[in-house]
A and B are shown apart, each in its own frame.
Chain A
């Protein structure tokens, strides 16, 4: 029989190492970069990519209607994550750039910057050293679908996109109170975000274009374009309501940005369910095993099966059962090892409950190489447990346990 067609016994250290070091994500990001840039010489390119080590650097786009607080949130996120902020203003105001010069001229003449120039500016800025090293946050760009497409063709892709939403009436009203500090360029609000220092208060200016009519017009334009932009970022988009205090919006945005998306890495779940008696471990384990195709291992059940097996261990275990003593750890571990080493457990993953019950058992489990990668503690207050256990009934037909009150039972 050809060796390559027989099922392979892959040593368990390999997938564990892969999971622990995120090898899949590493290779995936390298492949992404290779495909975007398609260098003639892939190996030096890959070496440079690995040296840069910027897979986890923030790459964020913040979109939203006027007066939603985009710039404020962008600035706060920027300070918190220590990254670079890119706005139309900063891009246009760039010195020593011919593209920026061109863009400024166009803006002066037509009051509008053509999409291609804007995106070229973005590309130029993103290729600079500090953006490569520390990441970037784009505030309010892209504004139209054409800009999105241009960015995609150039290979500038964000990892998180945040869209702020709020009802129009709130926005129009809010915009009336907008004030800008000409020195720091920070945005304040007469009602919601008033600066504490008197000197800042004195120098605040009203920006132009905040009348109701103006805001309504800008909102109309925004709604028209945003509906065409959102489908371009299907899996990385998050909508946050801007109709709440800034701090809340900020914390929501921050938590989102710091979570990484679900990866495609191969993953065998090794789940551990802990909790007191009566917390529903067996039930949850059965449901999990059914839903994800895992092997359900209940320690007590395993021992009872081992007794039935008529092996050398079974008499030993039986003797402990008869004396009503707890089976010693090493015997449990032997039985467990036998079960966990079987190919179905290795390939499909497992849900374990009823073991370990104390720290020593946990250490022994870890030392044998079976560390779980998801652990759940089912927390139930003492009274509920007492209630559930005292009212527990066993259905004689199916052998299921039900606690009436928790689970209304049809049979009895």
Chain B
């Protein structure tokens, strides 16, 4: 029995070490979002790009484009003031996995506007540690897909 348990443990460790589940979730999310006519070929191209990103250290682009940032900001700012509080901003960055829970961001006392939010998101994601950073998109991608889907549907209705 120990052999079985240790194999299972070994398998779990492997999954965690290489973050396989996040990778697979990311790939599935991309497939369902883009819906290419030939899923296998598209998957191969995605993985090739990932491999390249890992090898050369260039950041792999992920979903967060301008409309999504705007949508996210709007969701946090329902009354349409044009600003969000610092706590909301930190929460948003945490959701995007762009900062860890314990990281201390300087609260310079100013409120965060849309432009500032957008710049911060883009810069923080650019500034992330390149070679290992291909990990980060996976965790966020499922939330982003649903966010994008939601923003797409809200803009439609």
Contacts and interface: CB of A to CB of B under 8 A. Distances in A.
A30 B33 CA distance: 20
Contacts of A111: none
Contacts of A31: 20, 24
List 8 tightest A-B contacts by C-beta distance, closest first: A3-B75, A14-B32, A17-B35, A8-B146, A43-B51, A47-B47, A38-B14, A9-B153
Given A43-B50, A46-B47, A47-B44, A4 B32 contact: no
Contacts of B152: 11
Contacts of B146: 4, 8, 10
SS of B interface (majority): helix
Interface string A11-26: 1011001100101001
Contact of A23 (B18, B39, B54): B39
B6 to A, nearest CB: 12
Given A4-B95, A27-B24, A38-B10, 9 more contacts: A3-B75, A3-B150, A4-B147, A23-B39, A34-B20, A35-B14, A43-B51, A47-B44, A50-B40
B13 to A, nearest CB: 10
B111 interface: no
Given A10-B149, A18-B32, A27-B24, A4 B143 contact: yes
Given A21-B39, A47-B51, A8 B44 contact: no
B20 A11 contact: no
Given A9-B153, A23-B31, A38-B11, A30 B147 contact: no
A42 interface: yes
Contacts of B44: 47, 50-51
Interface of A: 3-4, 8-11, 13-14, 17-18, 21, 23, 26-27, 30-31, 34-35, 38, 42-44, 46-47, 50-51, 53
B48 A26 contact: no
A21 B14 CA distance: 28
6 contacts: A11-B149, A14-B33, A23-B31, A31-B20, A31-B24, A51-B44
B114 interface: no
Contact of A44 (B11, B51, B150): B51
A17 B150 contact: no
Given A3-B150, A8-B149, A43-B54, A23 B95 contact: no
Contacts, number: 69
B72 interface: yes
A38 B8 CA distance: 12
B112 interface: no
Contacts of A47: 44, 47-48, 51
Interface in B4-56: 10-11, 14-15, 18, 20, 23-24, 27-28, 31-33, 35, 39-40, 43-44, 47-48, 50-51, 54
A42 B20 contact: yes
Contacts of B31: 17-18, 23
A17 B32 contact: yes
Contacts of A10: 146, 149
A170 to B, nearest CB: 39
A354 to B, nearest CB: 30
A9 B40 contact: no
Contact of B153 (A11, A35, A43): A11
Contacts of A13: 35
Question: Which one of A27, A38, A43 has the greatest number of beta carbons of chain B within 10 Å?
Answer: A43
